[in-house]
Amino acid sequence: MKSFDYYYEDMTIGRKIDIGTYEVSKEEIIHFASQFDPAPFHLDEEIGKASMLGGLSASGWHVCSMAMRMLCDSYLLRAASEGSPGMEECKWMAPVLAGDTLSGHLIVESARLSASRPNLGLVNFRCNLFNQNGKQVMTYTNLGMMRLRQAA
Amino acid sequence: MKSFDYYYEDMTIGRKIDIGTYEVSKEEIIHFASQFDPAPFHLDEEIGKASMLGGLSASGWHVCSMAMRMLCDSYLLRAASEGSPGMEECKWMAPVLAGDTLSGHLIVESARLSASRPNLGLVNFRCNLFNQNGKQVMTYTNLGMMRLRQAA
């Protein structure tokens, strides 16, 4: 059986995991928006600049998806993860603009054993993303299901 | 100035708006997952079938993005929308699988005038998505900022 670097027992409350960086390109913003969120300020640089967002800004769902890629690359693909039933409290705090470099971390906020499934733990994470100026652009909390190391 | 079909005043509490349908393809599931959520069960049909998800399942963020496209096509691009500062209580309730046809609606749960910005209203929506068998696959609530018709 495959062994992982992160099991439920590793997600101690307060633990902080760096999730690396993500370069945000104009082409990717427009491509995502064309497919899923075709608002003019996500598609057209001039309209974006003239809007209260101040530039060509990424869809909020695109920013969530970027964060997911950062999580996958930094730890999740090496974790004994069983996915997630949902998330809470997602705040898009500042525009994510073409040319930004995002960085971020997750913090373990709480953890408990599953009442119904032995060998499974439930871990509540907060994910925080920042731009290259240190300004926070997003936060959300996510419930992750993870298998126990002792069961592996 | 451009006129819209939906302003803040139109979003009466309890109003339900149908958001149409969305065909979920295997190719789109794999394409999205390759870019943003490359977990094996989102990329490989056989691994998906063998997992507790029971098939090639879409990333939760992909499902959120599909819902956004449905919202755009059904009403949001015709609404005096000023975007959204965030969302809450997103639950991925059942897998969204290749070949599914999603349908859904939004319901206005609450609405209030902005305390800080005249001519702006804040509308709390719930979005519900179902598959072709009537099984609910997702719910979330979203705060939308909308301009007032009286100000247009």
With an 8 Å Cβ cutoff, is B59 touching chain A? Answer: yes
Please report the pLDDT score of residue A140 as a whole number.
Answer: 97
> What pLDDT, on the 0 to 100 scale, is given for residue A33?
98
- Cβ of A86 and B64 within 8 Å? no
ipTM of the complex as predicted: 0.95
Rounded to a whole number, what is the distance in angstroms from the first to the last CA of chain A? 8
Q: Which residue from A36, A52, A77 is facing B69, i.e. has the nearest CB? A: A36
pLDDT band at A1 (very low <50, low <70, confident <90, very high): low
Q: Single out the residue of A83, A87, A85 nearest to residue A146, CA to CA.
A: A83
A10 band by pLDDT with thresholds 50, 70 and 90: very high
Mean pLDDT (whole number) for B30-56: 92
Q: What is the pTM (predicted TM-score) of this model?
A: 0.95
Contacts of B125 (CB under 8 A, 6+ apart): B11, B106, B107, B108, B109, B141, B142, B143, B144
If you average pLDDT over residues B105-128, what whole number do you get? 95
- Which architecture characterizes domain A8-151 according to CATH? Roll (3.10)
In the predicted model, what is the mean pLDDT of chain B?
95
**CA atoms of A96 and A93, how far apart (whole Å):** 9
Q: Which of A107-111, B44-48, B128-132 has the lowest mean pLDDT?
A: B44-48
Q: How far is B15 from chain A (nearest CA, A)?
A: 23
Q: Is B4 on the interface with A (CB under 8 A)?
A: no
The mean of the pLDDT values for chain A is 94
Contact criterion met (CB < 8 Å) for A90 and B92: no
Collapsing DSSP states into helix, strand and coil, what is residue A109? strand
Distance to chain B for A1, nearest Cα, Å: 15
What pLDDT does B7 receive?
A: 96
pLDDT band at B1 (very low <50, low <70, confident <90, very high): low
Would an 8 Å CB–CB cutoff place A146 in contact with chain B? no
Q: Are strands B136-147 and A16-23 parallel, antiparallel or unpaired?
A: unpaired
Kindly tell me if the per-residue pLDDT of B51 is higher than 90.
no
Beta-carbon separation of A61 and B61 below 8 A: yes
What tens digit of pLDDT does each residue of A64-114 get? 999 999 999 999 999 999 889 999 999 999 999 999 999 999 999 999 999
Chain A: closest CA distance from residue B51 (Å): 10
Domain ranges of chain B: 8-151
Residues of A in contact with B145 (CB under 8 A): none
